[in-house]
Structure 1
Amino acid sequence: MSALGTRLTILAGPSIPMPLTPDLTARVRDVTVTESDEGRSAFTITLDAGRSGPLAALDTPVLGRTPLRANNRVVLMVTLGVVPHVLMDGIVTETEYVPGSAQTQASVRITGQDLSLLLDRHEVSAEHVGLTDHLQVLAIAARYAAEGLIPSVIPPPVSEPPLPIERTPTQQGTDWAHLHQLAAANGFVCYVDPGPVPGVSTLYWGPPVRAGAPQKALSVDLGPDTTVIGSPTFREDVLGPEVVDGEVQDPRTGAVIPVRTFAVTRPPLAAMPVWAVHAPSVRTRAYRDTGISAVTALANAQARTDAAMNCVTGTGRLDGAVYGAVLRPRGLVGMRGAGWSHDGLWYVQQVVHQLSPGRYTADFTLGREGYGSTVPVVKVS
């Protein structure tokens, strides 16, 4: 499928994904891929299910010997120019068939989720004796190496090994649920990032990526240089930020230690953070966890404050052909043309890619902690 220099490649198969046959590729109507920095990414492929050929009286060929079957693996790649980008590496979970009528054509909708589905199938009860949070993540990820899942695990800044005579970390649920529980306790995110090549994905467990080279800037109201369709929408939620105030009794010394947070510790993206501008009105949440050391309690409290920082969000739609690149979540992107309050660097929370013959758009959701650009210029190419 070709659209203004954009080419979509679909690979599918029970174990090793292979390119679709030309007759099946020609039936693709549209593809949607939803990527998010939290939770599971998903995809939908809609195909023309009209009957044709010598076996038309029996059934649609889309439901015959097609590799787009339940539990098969699917890889979606989009190529802009000569650079391919893996948008999705996932598993088919649902097939929906709608017979045709006098008014509509028959269609088949294939729905699936990324490879994190493999970690979310079986609930287990397990103990992780003597393992810190990030070592638990590595131990769980190692079991899925054969599926092409490569771990990228960032240790928390504060991590105390659990002494077996004091406590033993336990798991009650699926591996995916346990990884998210550990991530939330440290203010981290956990997701599966497809690529960089077909058949390989990265299991990321660590802090949101708020550093490094930003992606090509989004341009608003800049005449022929505009890449955002229409006008983006920016929203401020003053109820988002929160600080923590409480105390914890250290199980080793018995001392009661205050647990308080005052500010966000992540790299700033805004010159005027909401938690600072509205400091007297910021919500305070009590710290009530027990049975952990003061160091761990302070780290958990700070993680809660950091996780609530993205209280200013921006949403809009991108023209992929004009933008000339593939916007990806879980990283930084520049914004220009929206005014000083909303220009600058943003963290990309979610991107919904929509591809159909002759068209490629991407709905995006951005987030940061406040208003005002912290950089004089942004990357435009």
Structure 2
Amino acid sequence: MAGTIAPESRYATVGTAVTVDPDTGQEVVHLRRRFVPPAERLATAGWEQVADGDRVDLLAARTVGDPTAFWQLCDANGAFDPAELEQPGRVVRVALPRGSPEPAMPRGVRLQLLVGPLTFGPAPYELVEALQEAQVTQNAGQRSGFQLRFALSRGSLVERMLADGSLDPPTRMLLVLHLDGRPQVLSDGVVTRHDVARSNEAGASTLTLTGVDVSQMMDLIDLSGLPMPMPAEARVLTLLAPFAAYGVVPMLVPSVLVFAPNPIQRVPAVRGTTFAYVSQLADEVGYTFYVEPGPTPGMNTAYWGPEVRAGQAQPALTVNADAFSNVESLSFSFDGVQKTVYLLTAFPEQVRVPIPLPVPDVSPLNPPLGRKIPIPLSYRRMNIGRADPGRTDDATARMDVVQTLARGLARAAQSANVITGSGSLDVLRYGRLLQCRRLVGVRGAGRAYDGEYVVKSVTTTVKAGEVKQRFNLSRNAQISISGRVDT
């Protein structure tokens, strides 16, 4: 009987049993009972969205390559009735049969590693094969970083490259994720340190490379005292020019709040490294500065401008929608006392009389992302003298009216993001990489929390069989402005 069962059948591995008929005494050979494996124990191979008119056999033919293997889809999605998987719009999980080895990469995903001292090229095949896990973290207001963990065996290429200095700081490394044929640069940075963990167990030794985006190269040389008698935007462009060797392309948004000092009275000079000074110039006008990889490998965009709170939002994060959910978890919080009204005082040299300045609740730097704007409960007088220890330098005694107002608007915008969210997702189910420092919609979280958010941080983890992201969101108001969130 066992020979009549096709090897691709769900019963091919259950085996047979012999039962004696109590009436006739004859032995009856029959299949053993098949127990459906827990869906979470099956290795994910990908995701597939159901189209209008799709049947479960068509889905199986398209994803597994065999229309009779629809049972694999049922097992992967915990469906006892195959018709449950035929609902248009549902995202169906595709898994490997029980007992199959974990795939090196999910279907439709390829990770490319590029290495070089300044210019770069494809990493050796053996180095790519030794990569066990890659983790990339992007955080608004901070530099992006990466960690790569490699298997380290005696006499391997990884050990030889470690010995000859090929992986020493500041070796440049690029990670490019190809998702359904679409390349996207995950990280472009330089190695800052490496850690070796040796083990007595075979195959357990590892090498971990830690690095930062190419802005690290802007933070090595102190240029304090270098005179720069030019507007702030020109200073930024001049300081970023030497880093064109790393593919850095400046993207500046001029600010109406930039103060141009009288060159007869004072000549601006650099304070600190290039990265520190350019970040300071951005902070003075309520802007942000960061370096973002892409859009093509080898290119890096140095953005100096306001936090992005407009434009096309990324596809919505959907929660609490059964089969239509595309996130694994999503939670929210509202801090009612974080929002602060700042009391400012300017000391213009021409008047020499303190001038109080009101800071508006909503400004071009901080447009509302919802209809219900929380009322500020906290009031704080910005430091008018020396910088407070442990705080950002908000001293305004030597600033003019424009500089003081810009500093107040920046602090007000930062304190206004009282609604935050955090969660995780599977990139294949979401359909793309969630981008940090961009807008994204949220659906299914309830009327108060649905709407558009700014993605504050994203941590992408790539390892055998999965590509997942953890993220944090924020916004300054509740209830969606439009009343709906586009997919």
The normalised TM-score by structure 1 is: 0.91
Say which structure, 1 or 2, has more relative contact order (CA 8 Å, 6+ apart): 1
Out of 313, 321, 326, the residue aligned to residue 428 of structure 2 is: 321
Unaligned runs of 5+ in 2: 1-103, 385-395
Structure 1 residue 92, shift from structure 2 partner = 0.8
Q: What are the equivalent positions in structure 2 for 1:59-98 lying under 5 Å apart?
A: 60-61=159-160, 63-64=162-163, 67-98=166-197
Q: Distance in 2 between matches of 1:25 and 1:207?
A: 38
Are 1:170 and 2:269 an aligned pair? yes
Q: Distance in 2 between matches of 1:159 and 1:97?
A: 48
Identity %: 31
Structure 1 residue 66, shift from structure 2 partner = 7.9
Give RMSD over aligned pairs.
2.1
- Given residue 225 of structure 2, which amino acid in structure 1 is its aligned partner? A
Are 1:14 and 2:134 an aligned pair? no
Could you give the per-residue CA deviations for residues 77-125 of structure 1, whole angstroms, max 9, x where no partner exists? 1111111110111001111111222376111111111000011011121
- Given residue 302 of structure 2, which amino acid in structure 1 is its aligned partner? L
Quote the residue 2:324 is aligned against.
Answer: 225
Are 1:272 and 2:272 an aligned pair? no
Q: Distance in 1 between matches of 2:243 and 2:125?
A: 32
Q: Distance in 2 between matches of 1:335 and 1:262?
A: 27
CA contact (8 A) 1:151 1:202 kept: yes
CA contact (8 A) 2:258 2:285 kept: no
Out of 307, 316, 341, the residue aligned to residue 208 of structure 1 is: 307
CA contact (8 A) 1:346 1:366 kept: yes
Q: Distance in 2 between matches of 1:178 and 1:79?
A: 36
Relative to total residues, which structure has the larger strand share, 1 or 2? 1
Structure 1 residue 369, shift from structure 2 partner = 0.8
Aligned residues: 371
CA contact (8 A) 1:33 1:353 kept: yes
Quote the residue 2:134 is aligned against.
Answer: 31
Quote the residue 2:390 is aligned against.
Answer: none
* Counterpart secondary structure, 1:125: coil
Q: Distance in 1 between matches of 2:426 and 2:471?
A: 11
Structure 1 residue 239, shift from structure 2 partner = 3.1
Q: What are the equivalent positions in structure 2 for 1:348-367 lying under 5 Å apart?
A: 348-367=455-474
* Counterpart secondary structure, 1:183: helix
Q: Distance in 2 between matches of 1:59 and 1:9?
A: 17
CA contact (8 A) 1:249 1:291 kept: yes
Out of 286, 289, 292, the residue aligned to residue 190 of structure 1 is: 289
* CA 1:375–1:252: 2 relative to 1, 3 Å: same
Q: What are the equivalent positions in structure 2 for 1:107-126 lying under 5 Å apart?
A: 107-126=206-225
Quote the residue 1:262 is aligned against.
Answer: 360
Quote the residue 1:250 is aligned against.
Answer: 348
Structure 1 residue 35, shift from structure 2 partner = 0.7
Quote the residue 2:337 is aligned against.
Answer: 239
CA contact (8 A) 2:343 2:379 kept: no
- Given residue 165 of structure 1, which amino acid in structure 2 is its aligned partner? I
* CA 1:359–1:226: 2 relative to 1, 3 Å: same
* CA 1:42–1:286: 2 relative to 1, 3 Å: closer
- Given residue 333 of structure 1, which amino acid in structure 2 is its aligned partner? V
- Given residue 236 of structure 2, which amino acid in structure 1 is its aligned partner? V
More displaced 10-residue stretch of structure 1: 29-38 or 253-262: 253-262
CA contact (8 A) 1:238 1:282 kept: no
Q: Distance in 1 between matches of 2:159 and 2:361?
A: 60
Unaligned runs of 5+ in 1: none
Q: Distance in 2 between matches of 1:108 and 1:246?
A: 51
More displaced 10-residue stretch of structure 1: 352-361 or 125-134: 125-134
Q: Distance in 1 between matches of 2:417 and 2:202?
A: 46
Out of 435, 442, 458, the residue aligned to residue 335 of structure 1 is: 442
Quote the residue 1:376 is aligned against.
Answer: 483
CA contact (8 A) 1:127 1:168 kept: no
Could you give the per-residue CA deviations for residues 7-31 of structure 1, whole angstroms, max 9, x where no partner exists? 1111001122211222221111110
Out of 142, 146, 170, the residue aligned to residue 241 of structure 2 is: 142
More displaced 10-residue stretch of structure 1: 138-147 or 309-318: 138-147
Q: Distance in 1 between matches of 2:172 and 2:184?
A: 17
Quote the residue 2:380 is aligned against.
Answer: 284
* Counterpart secondary structure, 1:371: coil
Q: Distance in 2 between matches of 1:27 and 1:4?
A: 20
* Counterpart secondary structure, 1:2: coil
Structure 1 residue 229, shift from structure 2 partner = 0.9
- Given residue 145 of structure 2, which amino acid in structure 1 is its aligned partner? A
CA contact (8 A) 1:252 1:293 kept: no
The normalised TM-score by structure 2 is: 0.72
